[in-house]
Amino acid sequence: MPVKQFREAIREAMVEEMRKDESIIIMGEEVAEYNGAYKVTQGMLDEFGGKRIIDTPISELGFAGIGAGAAMNGLRPIIEFMTFNFALVGIDQILNNAAKIRYMSGGQISFPMVFRGPNASAGQLGATHSVAFESLYGHFPGLKVMYPSEPYDAKGLLKTAIRDNDPVIFLESEQMYAMKQEMPDEEYTIPLGVGKIKREGKDVTIVAHGKMYHVAKQAAEQLAKDGVEAEIIDPRTMKPFDFKMVIESVKKTNRCVIVDESHPFAGMASEIGFIIQRDAFDYLDAPVLRVCLPDVPAPFAKNLFEKWLPSPKEIIDAVNAVTYRN
């Protein structure tokens, strides 16, 4: 199979869907003439023209609102934010219009649109450019939230998101755009709410999404050398979430560590941990532990930033704690 980058997988998903459906448009900063800030939309202006690949001013509230109005009137917009940190400027359109209009209209108005772009930290970009937003958007009814960790998943999930008649938050990582993976050329989709066991194991369940999956994978490889076989579950979609897969894994391993590139209070790890103790309490041989960011904004200094991010060592320490190896 051909090897493709994460950015290429996302581009292919959009191109393939736009060739089939003329109602799909893309709007955002630098998506057209500049080929995308991260070259995700490279070549798409040449193929689809300026009426479907639309450069916008630096006004997230404005183009998110235009996209919302377009979705209400028959188009299927894809709104690209240069980073989801900037989406906070347009969050009223996401939370008060996109997420609620179908409900408030009694199902008369659908909202088929995708908000996509980079999420969470991306190196030394400072506190205002390093926030993970999956728990925030997952909190609100009416939104579906995806955060793929690999190019294969990204393409299949984005095609599903574009076809969905409800608003989807599609989160990416700047640090994964150049990631490569073998992928089939034939068309495929991945359904919402279906996670994937990406590493089989019997001693502990590790739940990790987005780029934290790759940190968990490093930890699992080291743990295997020490005789501990960790099972890694990548939920792929954060809402709806595949709690069934996680619960079945915990029933097998009797232990769980959740890795989340969010702050600990009211994050995804808190919700996952609650469901595990509610539905699998009798199977647990140790408390559920989480590996998150500290409860402080992202530092800029390189040495502090590296300590701020969840690390393989922290995951290994958590696994050793739940397996009583400390």
Is the distance from CB of 227 to CB of 256 less than 8 angstroms?
A: no
Is the distance from CB of 79 to CB of 64 less than 8 angstroms?
A: yes
Report the chain's terminal Cα–Cα distance, integer Å: 43
262 Cα distance to chain centroid = 12
**Residue 244 CB partners (closer than 8 Å, separation 6+):** none
Report which of 170, 162, 175 is spatially closest to residue 144, judged by C-alpha positions.
Answer: 170
Q: Which one is catalytic: 8, 12, 17, 60?
A: 60
Query: What string of H, E and C letters represents the secondary structure of 150-201?
Result: CHHHHHHHHHHHHHCCCCEEEEECHHHCCCEEECCCCCCCCCCCCCEEEECC
User: CA 85 to CA 98: how far, in whole Å?
Assistant: 18
> Max alpha carbon distance in the chain (Å)?
60
User: CA 84 to CA 71: how far, in whole Å?
Assistant: 20
Is the distance from CB of 99 to CB of 140 less than 8 angstroms?
A: yes
Angle separating helix axes 151-163 and 6-20, nearest 10 degrees: 30
Q: Is 129 a catalytic residue?
A: yes
Q: In what order do the strands lie in the sheet with 53-55?
A: 53-55, 24-28, 76-80, 114-118, 168-172, 144-146, 237-239
Q: Which one is catalytic: 129, 172, 214, 231?
A: 129
Tell me the backbone φ, ψ of residue 201, rounded to 5 degrees. Answer: -160, 165
Q: Where are the alpha helices (DSSP H) in the chain?
A: 6-20, 44-48, 60-72, 91-92, 101-104, 134-138, 151-163, 212-225, 243-253, 268-279, 302-308, 312-322
Q: Is 60 a catalytic residue?
A: yes
Tell me the backbone φ, ψ of residue 76, rounded to 5 degrees. Answer: -125, 80
**Catalytic (active-site) positions:** 60, 129
